Amino acid sequence: MFKIKLGDFELHVITSGFIRLDGGAMFGAVPKMLWEKTNPADKKNRILLAMNILLVRTGKDNILIDTGIGNKGDEKFNAIFGVEDYQPMDGLLGAAGLKTSDINIVINTHLHFDHAGGNTIMDSEGRYTPAFPNARYIIQKGEWDDAIHTNEMTKASYRMDDFLPLREAGAVEFVDGDRKIAEGVMVIKTPGHNRNHQCVLIESANKKAFYLGDLVPTASHIPFPYIMGYDLFPLETLENKKRILNQSADEGWLLIFEHDPKVKAG
C-alpha cells in the first residue's frame, strides 16, 4: 500500500494483484523495440500490469475507485491473463484500518473485468452479492448499457457477475457525464478506451489528484501516441490525453496510474 496526503484527504494506492496482457495490444501502433525498453515481455509477448485501486479517505467518506479483477476466474482464465498475487480486499483494507463494510462509495471507471471484478463476492449460498455492502456504486449509465449489450469486439471484456448483482441489490447509482460524487471528488467522462470511460478528479485544500484508469494506464503511456490497441476510439483517447495531461502539467496535479507495476503515482 502506498499512502499519500492530499490536502485534508488521505489517498491509499492499493495493489490488489497483477495480470499479464499482450504487449502489442497494450501499446497499439508503437513498435515493440520502443515499448519493450520499459515493459519487457514474457515468452508469450505479455507484459506485467498491476491493478492499483485507489482508496480516498475524506474524513466523511471512504471511497474506493475500481476494484481489481476479483477472484472469479477459473484456471483457464487465470492462465490466459497471467493472474498472480491476488489479494482479497478485506485484508488490503485492513492494512488501512478499514473493513469492506466501511466503504460507502465505489466508483467504477468502467466495467471491464480487470476494473470491476472485485465489485461482487460469492455468499454462502453460492450467489454473487456486493462486496461492499454499504456502498453505492457509481457507474456511467452508457457504460452499463454497453456492458449489457455487447458485440463481438467487446463481449470478452465483461463478466455479468461483476455488475448485474449490484442492480439486483439496489446498489447502483447511474451518472451521465461529469458529476460531483462527494465533497472534493468528481467523475470526469473521458471516452476513448470505450465510449463511456470515466476518470476521477480529487481535490482538497487546493491540491488535486487524478485517477487515470485506462486513459493512461501506465507511466509508459504518457507520450501522446502511446495508445492501447484495445481502445475502441483511439482518436478520442488522443484528444482526452492531450486535454488532461496538459491541464495536469499546468496545474501540478498528482497522477495515479491504475496499471503500472512500478510507478503508482507522480
Q: What is the pLDDT of residues 47-88, one digit of tens each?
A: 999 999 999 999 999 999 999 999 888 899 999 999 998 888
Say how far apart CA 182 and CA 192 lie, in whole Å.
Answer: 25
pLDDT at 142: 98
Say how far apart CA 102 and CA 219 lie, in whole Å.
Answer: 31
Say how far apart CA 81 and CA 107 lie, in whole Å.
Answer: 24
The length of the chain in residues reads 266
Residue 150: which residues within 8 A CB-CB, separation 6 or more?
Answer: 157, 158
HSE (CB half, 13 Å, CA atoms) of 161? 15
| Residue 96 identity (one-letter amino acid) | A
Say how far apart CA 76 and CA 18 lie, in whole Å.
Answer: 16
pLDDT digits (tens, 9 = 90+) for 82-122: 999 888 888 899 989 999 999 999 999 999 999 999 999 98
Say how far apart CA 229 and CA 122 lie, in whole Å.
Answer: 33
Say how far apart CA 256 and CA 128 lie, in whole Å.
Answer: 30
Residue 21 belongs to what H/E stretch?
Answer: strand 9-22
Enumerate the H helices of 109-255 as residue ranges. 113-116, 141-148, 164-168, 234-251
pTM of the model: 0.96
pLDDT mean across residues, the chain:
96
SS3 for 20? strand
pLDDT at 55: 98
Contact assessment for residue 10 and residue 57, using Cβ atoms and an 8 Å cutoff: yes
